[in-house]
Chains A and B, each alone.
Chain A
Amino acid sequence: MQEDEPLGGDVKAASTPIINSISSDQLEPWSALLVRLGGERDKAVFAQLFQHFAPRLQAYIMRLGMPRASAEELSQEAMLLVWRKAEMYKPAKARASSWIFTLARNLCIDRMRREKAVECELFEEYMEHDQAEAPEQLLLEDRMQQAIALLPENQAQVLQLCFYEGKSHAEIAQQLAIPLGSVKSRMRLAFDKLKAHWGEAQ
């Protein structure tokens, strides 16, 4: 587990409503905390989320190629969005880390392309109507991370170039001097392995 796991046993406080039939005690701690933020608008809860996620967002945005000052500004913007949109967070759809990742990603697309990343945001509305994931499929963050760590080097490398550095398939192919088809097949192979962990029982 993370060393800076949220403090206190009150994460599972009774005031947290059952959302999409997943009760907060079934959630990993950060997702439970985000649900609580949406319900209670508690600034102390926000501060906990900030201290965990803001430094990681900062690292992520800097790896995308942003200068330090812009990365600081964007990671703060992203955390402000977490505060404003926390009520819209659906724990049955995504873990807190995934949800916060997508918020930050959209902000970065916005900034880098000087265009609105509307494409991504539009889904919030109808994603709600999609069938919910089974709760046990959301408990596997640790396993997913272990699985990433166990990927063959050449598969982990394409995922990292894609996610951490924002490189397109063509840019990765060029950088690694391999055919486009190899980039895509490495990504597919990696994703297949990670998806296998997704649906697996604990």
Chain B
Amino acid sequence: MTIRHHLDDSTLLAYAAGSLPQGMALLVACHLHNCPHCRQTLLQAEAVGGALLQALEPAPLDPQALQAVMARLDQPDTKRSEAGSVAAAARNSDLPVPLQQHLSGDLASLPWRRMGYGMQHIDLKLAGPGTTRLLKIAPGISVPHHTHGGNELTLILRGSYADEIGRFCAGDVADLDDTVQHQPIVDTDQDCICLIATDAPLRFSGLMGRLAQPFIGM
């Protein structure tokens, strides 16, 4: 997988800080899974967190705190066994590993719902602001021209699309905000499947967009 479009530094900083909305954090995790370049930047962003932690004025602790923790050091760790099951599941699905926390099966067998306009979707119904959904767009279909009221992250899982910014293929991420207006079009004969996470509703522009918004509901 050759990745050409990466996450914005401000997105990776927010991820490192733990301040991204849940769906965007999930999408970032999926991209990082395949992208050594962004993992390297994440280490630097986490180093900012480390330096900020060091710089904090220490808060007074309960005088018993050290003793309390020392007393627990020899207790068995009850939570460690869960991680293995996630890793095992990963080998049996073409979904990005972090997404397997929320969906099971393969991309093809997911419970897709028709939206019209040649698009199908699955809403992950995550808590917090914005929406997180998988979108399957048929060849030649163009998503109406839109801007974003906030941030919109799109991770291509299969197929590709092209827009004013460039061509996006599997693994690429489009990290956009309200300064960008674009009209993606699926540019091969294969469905394009992507994961989209926003922190605010989209704003479609033009008559077509305004008509489509209530149906697409993003």
Contact = CB atoms under 8 A, between A and B. Distances in A.
The answer to whether A and B belong to the same complex is yes
A160 interface: yes
A180 B43 contact: no
Interface string B22-60: 100110110011001001100111111111111111111
Contact of B48 (A50, A79, A117, A191): A191
Nearest to B70: A43
A191 B13 contact: yes
Contact of A180 (B26, B55, B178): B178
Contacts of B45: 191
B59 A159 contact: no
B46 A59 contact: no
Nearest to A77: B69
Contacts of A79: 69
B98 A118 contact: yes
Contacts of B26: 119
Interface of A is mostly: helix
A166 B49 CA distance: 11
Contacts of B70: 43, 46-47
Contacts of A152: none
Interface string A94-122: 11111111101110110001011111111
Interface string A13-47: 00000000000000000000000000000010011
B97 interface: yes
Given A46-B73, A122-B33, A180-B151, A133 B25 contact: no
Contacts of A185: 10
A53 B87 CA distance: 31
Contact of A98 (B9, B18, B46, B87): B46
Interface string B5-28: 000111001101111111001101
Nearest to B66: A50
B47 A94 contact: yes
Given A133-B43, A184-B10, A43 B59 contact: no
B164 interface: no
Contacts of A144: 47-48, 51
A94 B43 contact: yes
Contacts of A159: 13, 48, 52
Nearest to A84: B77
Given A55-B58, A59-B56, A113 B22 contact: yes
Interface in A109-168: 109, 113, 115-123, 125-127, 130-131, 133, 141, 144-145, 148-149, 159-160, 162-164, 166-168
Interface of A: 2, 43, 46-47, 50-51, 53-60, 62-63, 71-72, 75-76, 79-80, 83-84, 93-102, 104-106, 108-109, 113, 115-123, 125-127, 130-131, 133, 141, 144-145, 148-149, 159-160, 162-164, 166-170, 179-181, 183-185, 187-188, 191-192, 194-195, 198
Given A141-B51, A168-B14, A188-B10, 16 more contacts: A46-B73, A54-B61, A55-B60, A58-B59, A58-B60, A72-B62, A102-B16, A113-B127, A144-B51, A148-B52, A163-B49, A169-B14, A180-B177, A185-B10, A191-B44, A192-B9
15 contacts: A43-B73, A55-B59, A59-B59, A75-B61, A97-B50, A105-B17, A118-B86, A123-B39, A130-B40, A163-B16, A180-B151, A181-B177, A181-B178, A191-B48, A198-B44
Q: Which 7 A-B pairs have the closest CB atoms?
A: A98-B50, A55-B58, A119-B29, A97-B50, A184-B10, A59-B59, A187-B10
